Amino acid sequence: MATALVAIPSVSHHETMVADAVESALDLCPWLTVERVGDNVVARTELNRRHRLLLGGHLDTVPPTGGNEEPRIVADTLYGVGATDMKGGLAVLLHLAGTVPEPTADVTWCFYVCEEVDQRFSGLKMLWEERPDLLQADAAILGEPTGGVVEAGCQGTMRIRIDLEGARAHTARPYTGRNAIHRLAPLLTSLNGYVSRRPVLDGCEYAEQLQAVEVSGGVAANVVPDQASLLLNHRFAPDRSPAQAEAALRELLGPHLEPGDRWELVELAPGAPPSLDHPLLAALVEATGEPPTAKQGWTDVASFWAHGVPAANFGPGDPLLAHTRDEHVGSDELDHVAGVLSALLGSDR
């Protein structure tokens, strides 16, 4: 099944074919109520269990690279775009949806579009806005690649643009102006010396990060530039609110700014705490037999947390391989995750 999914191209905004395949597979299960909203596909059991667990993942991939658009199998390993992120995980979910007709918790199987692009296009966002009833659950597990261990919560992310002012002049007489690009130097020095804050939440260590991701400026080869811009990406632990995270950045970089400079928060996605005290998520950790770790990036776990649903990440594949030309997932990884989730769905929680 994983090979078949990888063979269906589904770059963000072009998921119709894979959504068709997922819907067709779920329609074969008479114990599921299947609904489609756009190219988002949701299937639910209606067994009146005490708890409802949502298991989900995104249908889209990043664009292929280096010839990895076609799946290939080497020994017991599947290569191809999306094999790691996250068609291996989708294959496990579809397998379980089709083979576990009477789970001990009601299950919502959720397959959604446009996770790999700007959040305004997110299929999950569409579902929250148009059909929130389909996403109601006591807890959620996303099949993102985690190497088969539970990655708890996720860090928030924000992008800050800093615009520095200078004074334009001829490069033959730079003393009559002020070079805005040169003013970036102390900011970059502070960034280079940034020390990651590493809070431990519920036994999971998060590692905050701060990186310059874009620099722009310049007018012409004979002009002292009067403007320079720096774009920052900050990953902040879920024990901090966005306001607290931004305040920490202002404390670090504010001494290098002057009246007339501009600070703009251009993108924000809050994180989510571990939430492993929920019985369904605690049972997931127990079923893996491994201690959980912190999710250092951002995932849609945060979207569920924002709507009152505790969630965790758990799926096959090495997250370090995601989006690379050598994306791959092994059959042993798929079997392990399928076994853990099958045990979870068969346990009385």
Active-site pick, 15, 39, 60, 318: 60
The amino acid that residue 116 corresponds to is: E
In order, the DSSP letters of 192-261 are HT------EETTEE---EEEEEEEEE-S-TTEE-SEEEEEEEEEE-TTS-HHHHHHHHHHHHGGG--TT-
Annotated catalytic, 151? no
Neighbour-count burial for 143-177, b at 16+ CB within 10 Å, e otherwise: bbbbbbbbbbbbbbbbbbbbbbbbebbeeeeeeeb
Annotated catalytic, 115? yes
Active-site pick, 39, 85, 106, 115: 115
Which residues, listed in sequence order, are joined to residue 141 by a DSSP beta bridge? 55, 312
How far CA 173 is from CA of 23, 217, 224, 330, 341, in Å, comes to 68, 19, 9, 63, 69
Query: Count of alpha carbons within 13 Å of 90, Cβ hemisphere only?
Result: 32
Question: Active-site residue numbers?
Answer: 60, 115
